[in-house]
Amino acid sequence: MKRITVPLDKDTLEDLETGDEVAISGVIYTMRDAAHARITEMIRKRVKLPFNLENQVIYYCGPTPAKPGNIIGSCGPTTSSRMDSFTPLLLEHGLKGMIGKGERSAAVKDAIAKYGAVYFSALGGLGAEYAGDVKKAEVIAFPELGPEAIYRLEVEDFSAVVIDDAKGNDLFMQMSVN
C-alpha cells in the first residue's frame, strides 16, 4: 500500500504504477456529469473556476445527505466513462488524478499519458466505508445541483487502485492480456 498526499506532485505521479494500491490523504473534489458540463463551459468561456485544477484529484461521486452527527452520507464512486467526453480538456488544464469505477475510453487514456496524470479505481458498493475516510466536507460550487454539486473533501487513507498510470499503462489491458 502506497500512501500518497494530494494535490499530486510530479514525483508521486512518476512513482505510481498500474495495480498499486494507494491510501490517499489530502483534499479531493467531487464532480459528476452536470458539474463537469458546467466546468467545461467555464473553461471554454475563460471564466474563473471554483477551484484551481492544477495537480488536483476529482472523485466521480455524488454524496448522499449526511445523517445527524455525520460529516457526509454514503459517497461511493460512479461510472467514470460518463465523464470521458469532458476529461481530456480538464487534464489539459492541469487535472492530475481521477477516482471512479470502470474503464476509460482510448481518448481519455491517451490524455492521461500525454498530460502525466493517473486514474484510480474505487470499489462500488463501499460508499459507507469511504464516508468514514472523509474528515471534512463542504459544497464549494453549484449547490443547486444537490448531490451533483462540487464538494471539497478532506480525506484520510482513502483506498483506491491505480488503473491508468502516467506512463500510459492500463491495468484492464494488462489483465486481459494475461
In this structure, what DSSP letter does residue 60 have?
A: -
- Give the pLDDT of residue 157: 96
pTM of the model: 0.94
Residue 174 clears pLDDT 80, i.e. is over it: no
- Whether the CB-CB separation of 20 and 134 falls below 8 Å is answered with no
Give the residue with greater pLDDT, 177 vs 39. 39
Q: Report the distance separating Cα 116 and Cα 178, nearest Å.
A: 26
Mean pLDDT value across the chain: 94
- Whether the CB-CB separation of 75 and 134 falls below 8 Å is answered with yes
Lowest-pLDDT choice from 23-27, 68-72, 150-154, 155-159 = 68-72
Interval 29-36 mean pLDDT: 96
Alpha carbon 34 to its chain's center = 15
User: pLDDT tens digits, residue range 54-78?
Assistant: 999 999 999 998 989 999 999 989 9
pLDDT band for position 178 (cuts 50, 70, 90): low
User: Which percentage of the chain shows pLDDT scores above 70?
Assistant: 97
- Give the pLDDT of residue 177: 55
Interval 99-125 mean pLDDT: 94
pLDDT band for position 128 (cuts 50, 70, 90): confident
Range of the domain at 19: 2-177
Type of residue at 27? V
Give the residue with greater pLDDT, 176 vs 27. 27
Q: CATH number of the domain at 47, please.
A: 3.20.130.10
What's the total number of domains in the chain?
Answer: 1
Q: Report the distance separating Cα 110 and Cα 24, nearest Å.
A: 24
